[in-house]
Amino acid sequence: MKVLISDNISSKCVEILKRSGLEVDVKTGMKPVELKSCIGDYHGLIIRSATKVTSEIIDAAANLKVIGRAGSGLDNVDRVAATKKGIVVMNTPGGNTITTAEHTISLMLALARQIPMATISMKTGKWEKKKFIGVELFNKTLGVIGIGNIGSQVAKRAQGLAMNVIAYDPFFSEDKAKAMGVEKVDIEELLRRSDFITVHTPLTPETKYLINKDTIKMMKPGVRIINCARGGIINEKDLYEALVDGKVAGAALDVFENEPPKNNPLITLDNVISSPHLGASTKEAQENVAVSIAEQIVDYLIHGTIRNAVNFPSVPSDQIARLQPYINLAEKLGSFAAQIFEGGATVITIEYQGDASEIDTASVTIAAIKGFLTPILEETVNFVNALFIAKERGIEVKETKSSDAGDYQSMIVIMVKAKEKENYFAGTLFSKKDPRIIGIDNFKVEIVPEGELLFIYNNDKPGVIGNLGTLLSKKNINIARMHFGREKLGGRAISVVTIDSPATTDIIEEIKRLPNILSVKQITL
């Protein structure tokens, strides 16, 4: 079998692949048309962040069985196209955890003591001791937004510097926080109390522009902000204005909304330090992910064992054909539920009804939990660690089975429970393979779970759909599908609209102001 490595990677990766008997070609810097023309010859593809594995590339990959990312982020891989073609997509989660946490602490220290600015001053022959008076980290409060793998490592290191650590994460249990010596708070309290704020969340519709002019207003005067997570979590225009007027004393940024950040005014400010997305860039981290992805590719191509896949669980090859439609449905249903449910889940129950109760449900349950956690934690969740992460975050996972699926041949139901509420989400397969969402609490629906969706609660009154269609038309957003459900005539209703392009935050706010609209959420599946 042949493996193509299309990005720069440690030579240890090549050594491991060849030692296992695989044929390896290293072709870096290829243009998309070049990759498309040669990809048909390969069974495995190993990439980092440079190669873009689009649906066109995947369509041309006649023999491709696996795509391996030496790292965690998979923004450059069309996972939907890969899954449809049965190509396993795997990454190396955790390989950059320590190095990114260390980079965060490095930036925080450099920001507190203005080290880069003092260095530049010294190199120009100046001696400006009074100009570069810094602040201590001792006894300061660090607010960690998102306390998963990387955030928890940052917290541990900050505690070693005698900082007080508070954290916001809706899926972080009180018991886990106490065990870590971290105080769990809501987002508003974190913003009010923190001297330093560091973000460690994925970029999702919920975290897009999480730091903006409104949230900055809640912060302490003189707060300092660090971002080694994803560009787009911080509204760069709002941050710039806060840095100029002094509300924010300084910022340390490793990531930007557009990379490289051409003509970005943030970089010109004296109270901003920056680095070119170096969070994972250490020799140790790069070797670790190179070795890990090589070993995973060998395990799959030679032995048929799947590890750290983001789109397939580890199941016997003779069961994949039967289980894959259920796995796909469960993952979509879980993701949909996570993006609708508000608050921290404590119990998730997956019920299998009808024909679904007769399958081996272990991998399907994992898919449902992975789907639920992924919108919150992004690439850190896979089919291997999903149940562990759920347990770590205080979420109890239950399974039940029933031979009765009502009007359907088979059905999967996910019930998500918090302390005082529970939401119900039901799905089925059409033609034994096409996933549909058919129930949301008391509403009967028929939703195709794919693409960009607007999920709307509204009063069942005339004009709602007309007003929505008119607004989207004015914004040049095309409607692909519309689905509706209502509790009773004239009561509360839901409208689920599939759109061809994402709606901006401003457009979502305009929709909320339309007559009879109760709430709006944008969902990505």
Q: What is the pLDDT of residues 103-119, one digit of tens each?
A: 999 999 999 999 999 99
**Residue 301 and residue 219 share a domain:** no
Compute how many other C-beta atoms are within 10 angstroms of the C-beta atom of residue 32: 13
- Tell me if 209 is assigned to some domain: yes
- pLDDT value of position 204: 81
**Residue 371 and residue 339 share a domain:** yes
The residue to which tokens 């290191």 are assigned:
157
- pLDDT value of position 384: 67
Looking at 277, 393, 483, 486, which residue is catalytic?
277
**Residue 513 and residue 458 share a domain:** yes
**Residue 115 and residue 214 share a domain:** yes
What residue spans of 125-272 are helical by DSSP H? Answer: 149-160, 174-180, 187-193, 213-218, 236-245
**Residue 287 and residue 206 share a domain:** no
Mapped onto helix, strand or coil, the DSSP state of residue 340 is: helix
What CA dihedral angle connects 209, 212, 214 and 219, to 10 degrees?
120
**Residue 115 and residue 81 share a domain:** no
CA 293 to chain centre: 20
- pLDDT value of position 107: 97
Contact indicator for 420, 367 with CB cutoff of 8 Å: no
**Residue 318 and residue 191 share a domain:** no
**Residue 71 and residue 213 share a domain:** no
Looking at 230, 393, 436, 486, which residue is catalytic?
230
Compute how many other C-beta atoms are within 10 angstroms of the C-beta atom of residue 326: 26
- Tell me if 124 is assigned to some domain: yes
Q: Which two tokens stand for residue 162?
A: 């005698």
**Residue 515 and residue 475 share a domain:** yes
Residue 51: CATH number of its domain: 3.40.50.720
How would residue 237 be classed by pLDDT, with cut points 50, 70 and 90? very high
Global pTM? Answer: 0.67
- Tell me if 67 is assigned to some domain: yes
CA–CA separation, 199 and 226 (whole Å): 7
Convert the pLDDT of each residue in 4-17 to its tens digit.
999 999 999 999 99
CA–CA separation, 382 and 368 (whole Å): 11
For the chain, what is the mean pLDDT? 91
Q: Which two tokens stand for residue 408?
A: 């359907």
Q: What are phi and psi of 451, to 5 degrees?
A: 80, -155
Higher model confidence: residue 106 or residue 87? 106
277 classed as catalytic? yes
- Tell me if 108 is assigned to some domain: yes
Instruction: Using a pLDDT cut of 70, give the percent of the chain over it.
Output: 98
- Tell me if 249 is assigned to some domain: yes
**Residue 224 and residue 132 share a domain:** yes
259 classed as catalytic? yes
- Tell me if 17 is assigned to some domain: yes
- Tell me if 444 is assigned to some domain: no
Residue 480: CATH number of its domain: 3.30.70.260
**Residue 374 and residue 346 share a domain:** yes
19 classed as catalytic? no
Q: What average pLDDT does the segment 460-469 reach?
A: 92
- Tell me if 445 is assigned to some domain: no
Instruction: Using a pLDDT cut of 90, give the percent of the chain over it.
Output: 70
Domain that holds residue 65: 1-93+282-310
Residue 331: CATH number of its domain: 3.30.1330.90
Looking at 34, 128, 174, 259, which residue is catalytic?
259
Listed residues 310, 328, 357: the one ending a domain: 310
Domain count within the chain: 4
